[in-house]
A = this chain, B = another copy of it.
Amino acid sequence: MGIAERKERERQEMRSMILSTAAQLFIEEGFEKTSIRNIAEAIEYSPATIYLYFKDKNELFHALSEEGFRKFFTELNEANQSGKPMDRMKRLGKQYLKFAIENPGYYDLMFIMKAPMESHHNDEGWDLGMKSHGILTSLVKECIDDGYFKSKDAKLLSFMIWSFVHGAVSFKIRDRMKMYEELDQDELMSGALDYFNEMLEKL
């Protein structure tokens, strides 16, 4: 049955057209300001058509966050490929900041946006999020085995580390760094990261 296959292919093409258009509009305008009608207009279909491919706006956001997590995991994983644990830890931090600075839109919906996190629990996005977190915790463990951190709890430590980078990045993305007006934001962040790494090494 070649027809069924062609139809399925066409369906997937439509899906990815909606998705890429939505992603593009989001990066330009922000998620909240991008409406289903905007997306529909851009792809030259009616708004109702989008609902034949995605259950609702949340499913669209969710699919995009999944894309973000794929990119995120890939980049973190690359940064974790070779070298001593502590060096990899430093590279991981740098890469985290880099990802957030280069993809503020993705970062926002992955980690900041208010969104229904229900269901979510058993899909690829969740899985990649867990895996990304796994990179950090196992790296913390490797550092411990290497003599760092005085055998502290790996989960607590990884939460602490993640909190720091997330906090710095969140301040920037949500525009709460105005009190440091005179300093360059990106320099401030990487400077703070350097101090943080120094602390980690001494712990």
Given A160-B195, A188-B159, A192-B159, A166-B171 contact (CB < 8 Å): yes
Q: Contact: B164 with A111, CB < 8 Å?
A: no
Q: Contact: B30 with A179, CB < 8 Å?
A: no
Q: Is there a chain B Cβ closer than 8 Å to A153's Cβ?
A: yes
Instruction: For residue A159, give the distance in angstroms from its CB to the closest CB of chain B.
Output: 5
Residues 150-165 of chain A, each 1 if its beta carbon lies under 8 Å from chain B, else 0: 0011011101101111
Q: Is there a chain B Cβ closer than 8 Å to A47's Cβ?
A: no
Q: Is there a chain B Cβ closer than 8 Å to A44's Cβ?
A: no
Q: Is there a chain B Cβ closer than 8 Å to A178's Cβ?
A: yes
Q: Is there a chain B Cβ closer than 8 Å to A52's Cβ?
A: no
Given A156-B192, A199-B203, A133-B179 contact (CB < 8 Å): yes
Residues 163-179 of chain A, each 1 if its beta carbon lies under 8 Å from chain B, else 0: 11111101100111011
* Chain B neighbourhood of A129, CB < 8 A: 179
Interface residue ranges, A against B (CB under 8 Å): 30, 32, 111-114, 117, 121, 129-130, 133, 152-153, 155-157, 159-160, 162-168, 170-171, 174-176, 178-180, 183, 188, 191-192, 195-196, 198-200, 202-203
Q: Contact: B32 with A114, CB < 8 Å?
A: yes
- The distance in angstroms between the C-alpha atoms of A179 and B133, with both chains bound, is 8
Instruction: For residue A7, give the distance in angstroms from its CB to the closest CB of chain B.
Output: 37
* Chain B neighbourhood of A178, CB < 8 A: 117, 121
Excluding A114-B174, A167-B168, 12 further A-B contacts by CB distance (< 8 Å) are A111-B176, A113-B174, A117-B178, A133-B179, A153-B191, A156-B188, A157-B195, A163-B171, A166-B170, A166-B171, A170-B170, A199-B202
